[in-house]
Structure 1
Amino acid sequence: MGKRKLVVEDLYALQSVTNPVLSPCGGEVVFVRTHIDEDQNDYVSNLFHVDVLSNEVTQWTFGKGRVSSPQWSADGTKIAFLSNRDEKNQVYVLSTKGGEARALTSFEKGVSSYLWSPCGKKVWVNGSVKEGKAFTDKEEKDEKKFAVPYRVTKMKYQMDAVGLLPQDIFKQIGVVDIETGEVTQFTEGNHQYTLQAVSHDGTKIIMSVNKSENQDYEFGQPMVIVDVETKEETVLVDEEGNFGGATFSKDDRYIAYVGANRTFQNTTHTDVVVYDTTDGTRMNLTESIDAPVGDYAIADLQQGVSAPAVVWTKDNHLYFQLSTMGDVRLYFATLDGAVYPASPENEHIYGYDISIDGTFAIVAVSNAISPGELFKLEITTGERSAITSFNQTYVEEVELIEPEAIVFQGAKEWDVHGWLIKPAGYVAGEKYPLVLNIHGGPAMMYGNSFVHEMQLLAAEGYGVLYINPRGSHGYSQQFVDAVRGDYGGADYEDIMASIDFVTSENEWIDTDRLGVTGGSYGGFMTNWIVGHTNRFKAAVTQRSISNWISFFGVSDIGYFFNDWQHGANMTDVDALWAISPLKYAENIETPLLILHGEKDFRCPIEQAEQLYITLRSMGKETEFVRFPGADHNLSREGAPNLRIARLDEITGWFKKYL
């Protein structure tokens, strides 16, 4: 019996396996498995345990909410994790011998992150506190719940997936006693503190805080090392840029962290830097690698992924993720400058942990036809053995199409990489429509990872083309920076060159039935494309940008993003209008479906409204679908029923016009 074709409802069948964490002795692993509960229309995640030797997998929690951030105590007798089973995220502690997990915190506004104290008797917590209040204070409830005005005095007053930011709430750091539950607040003042690390001897913590009075143009937080007893601070890093992920070496001598300065604004490559506490020197371990540290791959399955920035072994070796050529690989580094890959090509390592002796890793791995599982990777030999098999039956029963990697010449004769998927049931000699799918960012990348949306389009009978045009991460600093100041220029040329290349190389592509879609930057580019060519017979634009002038004032990032990416602001509206797709609306003849979330603060829905009304007023073929309550992450983390509806809209539009 042949395999069945993938369907949109398969989102409910797929399971996300993430966040593996090794026990101190290295013999056990805990991880998080997430699935969609169709009845409650929500994501449910629970904690699982596996014995490394026997591969016996056991479910440890059974709640209907979400769990995240599992951590072992230093002696391996307890597990802590965050859970929203009581609405707000709180810290829970579970004995490894069994029994029920108990809530350690019950903070009014929950806990954003936490870290074990090495003694195992305390937990450091990071959470929001109202000005003048403590973690444990309860707010007085307004039973009438009347709406009140919201006064805006800052430019940073809203955020996608959050909404309006409370003006009198500040993130503080505290310590909770495991036995008594007593909470001691460690930081104070009207500042936003972020807990980064705790030293192995328990005498120091690392935290981030920016105490500048005006935060509107502050885009990073200096990191400081703090003596727990005296609260004396030593600056770890204080320069313009984004730095974090700090962690102490096993002997506490070194501190590794990741970050990027502002040389190329938000397209600057992230590096791994090591600070020596004995003499204050620092080493950039990845300076010679022309690719960014971290995971920049776009996927739509893995939920709640939180991989460590850097992991130390006892020999002061380091491991980290690197996004390169469409892969996210595990890399190894030594303090004397040796850096090399520790995992194969053609896959996406989206989670990992390393044994303390550095002999093996536990890795969460996906590729184009594998949704993702946990594996044990022997570092020295490269041998790999499967630990989980949650998606095995699905992969065995469903036809998943292996993409073909392509390389072609884009603008300025630069090489551009991408992938082409043939339609399910492909028969040589037949003609098929093709859909071009453009990623967002633009400083992200498509990669060798499972994307349900791509496989769905193939299952619906379309060829699928997805590429990494200039502006994408994973190639070089020059490549990712090349889009700045040139939106709709060479990036557009790259994308159109991809169509030229695949249609010349693949006779099965029906050049009269080409479709295009994309979200965020990909939505901008979809709008731009249909305003500049009639080559495509149908288009779907998602969470898009149509007008950079209004974007400046309505997006949560608009006032600085325009400066960073276009070198223009409201003193030069002509420059912003010249690269706004709305300017070219009169040229659009391609039937255009507009999809947008109503709670999108990144690319607010007014961008879609302007485009739709303009096109309709001109008598163009267009429709507009609004998704209530959905933010910018609808396609990846939105309400499951809305994700299904979105995919139905996309496939329905292409079915109608292609």
Structure 2
Amino acid sequence: MEKKQLRNIKAEDLYNLKSVVDPQLAANGSDLVYTQTIASEEKNGYSSNIYYMNTEQGQEIQWTFGKARNHSPRWSPDGKRIAFVSDRDEKSQIYIMNKDGGEARQVTSCLHGASNPIWSPDGTKIAFNTSLKEGETVSDQPEKDKKEKPAPLEIDKMKHKSDAAGFWDGKYKYAAIVYVNTGEVELVTSGQHDYHVHCWSPDGEKLIVTADLAEDQDFSFQNDVFLLDVSSKELKNLTNGTGFFGNISYSPDGKYLGMTGHTREYENATLTKVWLYQLEEGSLTCLTEEWDTLVGDFAIGDFQQGAVNPGILWGEDSRSFYFITTDHGSTAVYYGSVDGEMYPALHERQHVYGLTTGGSLNKAVVAISKPSEPGDLYHLTITTGELKRLTSVNAEFLQEVILADAEPLQFKSSDQWDIHGWLMKPAGYQEGDKLPLVVEIHGGPHAMYANSYFHEFQCLTAEGNAVLFINPRGSHGYGQKFVDAVRGDYGGKDYEDIMEAVDHVLANYEFIDENRLGVTGGSYGGFMTNWIVGHTNRFKAAVTQRSISNWISFYGVSDIGYYFTDWQIQADLNDIEKLWKHSPLAYVNNIETPLLILHGEKDYRCPIEQAEQLFIALKHRKKETKFVRFPEANHELSRSGKPNLRIDRLNYITGWFNDHL
């Protein structure tokens, strides 16, 4: 039989790929639900549906259908039902479905929708989050066919916009409870603050919520943990303004709260750690204080839709738990205990982006991705480390295309720091070929490239490019000193790490053509792309995405600008000289590299004026450049933007490098 000819992947294959996330095991350890998402060309958006599997039998059964976003499935305590969120009726609301079949039943009809369902221990109530403006009630219904007239927007606070939500419209996020049998909804928090609900106490009398109740919200960046009495609505602050905490879960015996967080010693560069709150003693202890490892999944990619950080997953003994860590280009599953034991349960060269145990100490289900594997679910026997594949959601597609793998690399920087990264070459590489090299730089800067699938990298290799991506100083995954090293030094040692990585691969890989180098990146990666072309002419082409070019204007226009420049550049408007020194725009006269500028119109994190300034400055100097504006797109364009715009973006990137390399 003739072997099937595989084809190269292309940007448009985004429509053929499925993302599988958020696995949830029931307490019986065998019933599993999870969410599959596809990019829909027809609706130019995303459709998500919930699937079920008995992990012992292995057959996948689709539980929801249609073009809506059905997601966040959560098992009832008795394992007979799931609650989930769906926008099938425009607004996202909570629905309940029986395991034995039948139609889903809507249980909330909140004015502005509902999210984050959490079952009470007795299964009679579901806690959730909803939003309201002052004067609105949770039972209000929207006025149908009412056309809103344009109105002035009054602003009296600095935190008045966010890249995710746009301009603040007066709504606050509250914790609420819905009674499953009657549909009655009760708000359990109030006031002019946002609350996020995390878990119930085992006796069902209390909820754990987080909030920042500081009076001056513009200058407060804490997230406190509160014990909320459901009957009296009384709040007890357990962390008292000491830091930023989240992902809280009760031990089954009700004695402990497990959580992740930090006390902001290095502002947003501080490593997240595991914390234990003992309820009887009222004491908070960091269990990983001496451990130079980051807790949680901080790997970045451009493919998975709706991955969930599982936080602390307790075992039935109320002393043991599991969690995810970010470490040296991979994410791992770790075991922990209230006595401070910590050791790996699964630590391979891969990206674990989902984890569920159902309360078991012996088995789990993990979601795993690798550079040439978009992502699937696996059954993990924790005692032996054995993995058994449960899903193959992209099997049919992967039989048609050829994907490139990533070779890990490591070298010593000129000042003897260990720098880690990867090199990809086209899957169809022929011995003796000389290839152009595209250097990719991640955003953050406190994030981490990982052993994970990246659609953008695959599209670049499919066009015949080698791709180099590294974790320079400032990246997560390599300890506190490493991640903090970029603060106050943007364009310093981080720039040197990237350039020395290029030198390293040129010296060690003969197939790279040193005269055909390209560079690209987004956000901080866009800043660094701009910085690089202003400081060297080694690159024949560059693509800067959602970038920063001017820290002076960034201070006042970004949703995070007024504090981010202080934390990261370590300067504000009282030190214009330092802000300008670290601004790529200051070096625009030096830029000779042809530069493509890509930016979203509704990017409030790195607003489009950053791109406009750079483009006009380059055109004014007769430099080779092109500016592409993406309508309706925010800072998340490459990850969760409109599918057609994501594809256009990828084709602009590959097209620019094809033309210039």
TM-score (norm 1): 0.98
Aligned to 1:274: 276
Quick check: 1:69–1:306 contact (8 Å CA) kept in 2?
no
Query: For structure 1, which segment, 69-78 or 317-326, has the greater mean C-alpha deviation from structure 2 after superposition?
Result: 69-78
Aligned to 2:497: 494
- The answer to whether residue 579 in structure 2 is matched with residue 576 in structure 1 is yes
Query: For structure 1, which segment, 428-437 or 522-531, has the greater mean C-alpha deviation from structure 2 after superposition?
Result: 428-437
Q: Counterpart of 1:204 in structure 2: which amino acid?
A: K
- The answer to whether residue 464 in structure 2 is matched with residue 461 in structure 1 is yes
Q: Counterpart of 1:184 in structure 2: which amino acid?
A: E
Distance (whole Å) between structure 2 residues aligned to residue 140 and residue 393 of structure 1? 46
Quick check: 1:546–1:607 contact (8 Å CA) kept in 2?
yes
**Following TM superposition, by how much is the alpha carbon of 1:144 offset from its aligned partner in structure 2, in angstroms?**
4.8
Quick check: 1:409–1:416 contact (8 Å CA) kept in 2?
yes
Q: Which of 161, 164, 168 matches 2:164?
A: 161
Q: Which of 336, 339, 345 matches 1:336?
A: 339
Query: For structure 1, which segment, 176-185 or 601-610, has the greater mean C-alpha deviation from structure 2 after superposition?
Result: 176-185
Q: Which runs of 4+ in 1 moved over 4 A?
A: 139-142
Q: Which of 519, 522, 531 matches 1:519?
A: 522
Q: RMSD value over aligned CA atoms?
A: 1.3
Q: Counterpart of 1:423 in structure 2: which amino acid?
A: P
- The answer to whether residue 378 in structure 2 is matched with residue 378 in structure 1 is no
Q: Counterpart of 1:287 in structure 2: which amino acid?
A: E
**Following TM superposition, by how much is the alpha carbon of 1:56 offset from its aligned partner in structure 2, in angstroms?**
1.2
**Following TM superposition, by how much is the alpha carbon of 1:615 offset from its aligned partner in structure 2, in angstroms?**
0.3
Distance (whole Å) between structure 2 residues aligned to residue 208 and residue 454 of structure 1? 38
Write out aligned runs for 1:423-502 (5 A).
423-502=426-505
**Following TM superposition, by how much is the alpha carbon of 1:39 offset from its aligned partner in structure 2, in angstroms?**
1.4
Q: Which of 360, 367, 371 matches 1:368?
A: 371
Quick check: 1:20–1:353 contact (8 Å CA) kept in 2?
yes
Quick check: 1:112–1:127 contact (8 Å CA) kept in 2?
yes
Could you give the per-residue CA deviations for residues 360-390 of structure 1, whole angstroms, max 9, x where no partner exists?
0000111111111111000001111111111
Secondary structure, aligned partner of 1:309: coil
Q: Counterpart of 1:108 in structure 2: which amino acid?
A: L
- The answer to whether residue 197 in structure 2 is matched with residue 195 in structure 1 is yes
Q: Counterpart of 1:65 in structure 2: which amino acid?
A: A
Secondary structure, aligned partner of 2:399: helix
Q: Which of 55, 60, 63 matches 2:63?
A: 60
Q: Percent identity?
A: 51
Q: Counterpart of 1:565 in structure 2: which amino acid?
A: Q
Q: Which of 229, 232, 254 matches 2:231?
A: 229
Query: For structure 1, which segment, 343-352 or 354-363, has the greater mean C-alpha deviation from structure 2 after superposition?
Result: 354-363
Secondary structure, aligned partner of 1:572: helix
Which runs of 5 or more residues in structure 2 are unaligned? none
Quick check: 1:203–1:227 contact (8 Å CA) kept in 2?
yes
Could you give the per-residue CA deviations for residues 555-607 of structure 1, whole angstroms, max 9, x where no partner exists?
00000000000110111111100010001001000000000000000000000
Q: Counterpart of 2:205 in structure 1: which amino acid?
A: T
Distance (whole Å) between structure 2 residues aligned to residue 289 and residue 67 of structure 1? 38
Quick check: 2:208–2:227 contact (8 Å CA) kept in 1?
yes
Q: Which of 557, 563, 566 matches 1:563?
A: 566
- The answer to whether residue 184 in structure 2 is matched with residue 182 in structure 1 is yes
Q: Which of 172, 175, 182 matches 2:174?
A: 172
Q: Counterpart of 1:581 in structure 2: which amino acid?
A: P
**Following TM superposition, by how much is the alpha carbon of 1:211 offset from its aligned partner in structure 2, in angstroms?**
2.4
- The answer to whether residue 301 in structure 2 is matched with residue 287 in structure 1 is no
**Following TM superposition, by how much is the alpha carbon of 1:212 offset from its aligned partner in structure 2, in angstroms?**
2.4
Q: Counterpart of 2:121 in structure 1: which amino acid?
A: P
Secondary structure, aligned partner of 2:217: coil
Q: Which of 57, 81, 84 matches 1:81?
A: 84
Quick check: 2:313–2:359 contact (8 Å CA) kept in 1?
no
Q: Counterpart of 2:493 in structure 1: which amino acid?
A: A
**Following TM superposition, by how much is the alpha carbon of 1:149 offset from its aligned partner in structure 2, in angstroms?**
0.5
Distance (whole Å) between structure 1 residues aligned to residue 242 and residue 550 of structure 2? 29
Quick check: 1:417–1:467 contact (8 Å CA) kept in 2?
yes
Aligned to 1:10: 13
Size of the alignment, in residue pairs? Answer: 657
Change (3 A) 1:313 1:220: same
Quick check: 1:331–1:343 contact (8 Å CA) kept in 2?
yes
Distance (whole Å) between structure 2 residues aligned to residue 48 and residue 10 of structure 1? 23
Distance (whole Å) between structure 2 residues aligned to residue 339 and residue 628 of structure 1? 47
Which runs of 5 or more residues in structure 1 are unaligned? none
Quick check: 2:118–2:126 contact (8 Å CA) kept in 1?
yes
Distance (whole Å) between structure 1 residues aligned to residue 30 and residue 486 of structure 2? 47
Change (3 A) 1:334 1:212: closer
Secondary structure, aligned partner of 1:604: coil
Aligned to 1:652: 655
Secondary structure, aligned partner of 1:412: coil
Distance (whole Å) between structure 1 residues aligned to residue 179 and residue 301 of structure 2? 39
Q: Which of 350, 353, 368 matches 1:350?
A: 353
**Following TM superposition, by how much is the alpha carbon of 1:515 offset from its aligned partner in structure 2, in angstroms?**
0.3
Q: Counterpart of 1:407 in structure 2: which amino acid?
A: Q
**Following TM superposition, by how much is the alpha carbon of 1:145 offset from its aligned partner in structure 2, in angstroms?**
2.5
Aligned to 1:305: 307
Q: Counterpart of 2:26 in structure 1: which amino acid?
A: S
Quick check: 1:89–1:112 contact (8 Å CA) kept in 2?
yes
Distance (whole Å) between structure 2 residues aligned to residue 106 and residue 401 of structure 1? 47
Q: Counterpart of 2:438 in structure 1: which amino acid?
A: V
Quick check: 1:16–1:33 contact (8 Å CA) kept in 2?
yes
**Following TM superposition, by how much is the alpha carbon of 1:236 offset from its aligned partner in structure 2, in angstroms?**
1.9
Query: For structure 1, which segment, 139-148 or 293-302, has the greater mean C-alpha deviation from structure 2 after superposition?
Result: 139-148
Distance (whole Å) between structure 1 residues aligned to residue 415 and residue 240 of structure 2? 38
Distance (whole Å) between structure 2 residues aligned to residue 495 and residue 87 of structure 1? 46
Aligned to 1:601: 604
Quick check: 2:37–2:46 contact (8 Å CA) kept in 1?
yes
Q: Counterpart of 1:465 in structure 2: which amino acid?
A: L
Query: For structure 1, which segment, 50-59 or 421-430, has the greater mean C-alpha deviation from structure 2 after superposition?
Result: 421-430
Secondary structure, aligned partner of 2:346: coil
Distance (whole Å) between structure 2 residues aligned to residue 114 and residue 88 of structure 1? 15
Aligned to 1:322: 325
**Following TM superposition, by how much is the alpha carbon of 1:96 offset from its aligned partner in structure 2, in angstroms?**
1.1
**Following TM superposition, by how much is the alpha carbon of 1:140 offset from its aligned partner in structure 2, in angstroms?**
5.0
Write out aligned runs for 1:42-191 (5 A).
42-139=45-142, 143-167=146-170, 169-191=171-193
Secondary structure, aligned partner of 1:237: coil
Aligned to 1:548: 551
Quick check: 2:363–2:382 contact (8 Å CA) kept in 1?
yes
Quick check: 2:322–2:334 contact (8 Å CA) kept in 1?
yes
Aligned to 1:213: 215
Could you give the per-residue CA deviations for residues 201-240 of structure 1, whole angstroms, max 9, x where no partner exists?
1011111222223210111221111222333433221234
**Following TM superposition, by how much is the alpha carbon of 1:141 offset from its aligned partner in structure 2, in angstroms?**
6.6
Write out aligned runs for 1:247-266 (5 A).
247-266=249-268
**Following TM superposition, by how much is the alpha carbon of 1:139 offset from its aligned partner in structure 2, in angstroms?**
4.8
Query: For structure 1, which segment, 510-519 or 6-15, has the greater mean C-alpha deviation from structure 2 after superposition?
Result: 6-15
**Following TM superposition, by how much is the alpha carbon of 1:84 offset from its aligned partner in structure 2, in angstroms?**
1.2
Distance (whole Å) between structure 2 residues aligned to residue 279 and residue 411 of structure 1? 50
Quick check: 2:537–2:591 contact (8 Å CA) kept in 1?
yes
Quick check: 2:239–2:284 contact (8 Å CA) kept in 1?
no
**Following TM superposition, by how much is the alpha carbon of 1:13 offset from its aligned partner in structure 2, in angstroms?**
1.0
Change (3 A) 1:139 1:391: closer
Secondary structure, aligned partner of 2:577: helix
Q: Counterpart of 1:275 in structure 2: which amino acid?
A: Y
Quick check: 1:70–1:82 contact (8 Å CA) kept in 2?
yes
Secondary structure, aligned partner of 1:450: coil
Query: For structure 1, which segment, 351-360 or 512-521, has the greater mean C-alpha deviation from structure 2 after superposition?
Result: 351-360
Query: For structure 1, which segment, 186-195 or 617-626, has the greater mean C-alpha deviation from structure 2 after superposition?
Result: 186-195
Distance (whole Å) between structure 2 residues aligned to residue 67 and residue 200 of structure 1? 28
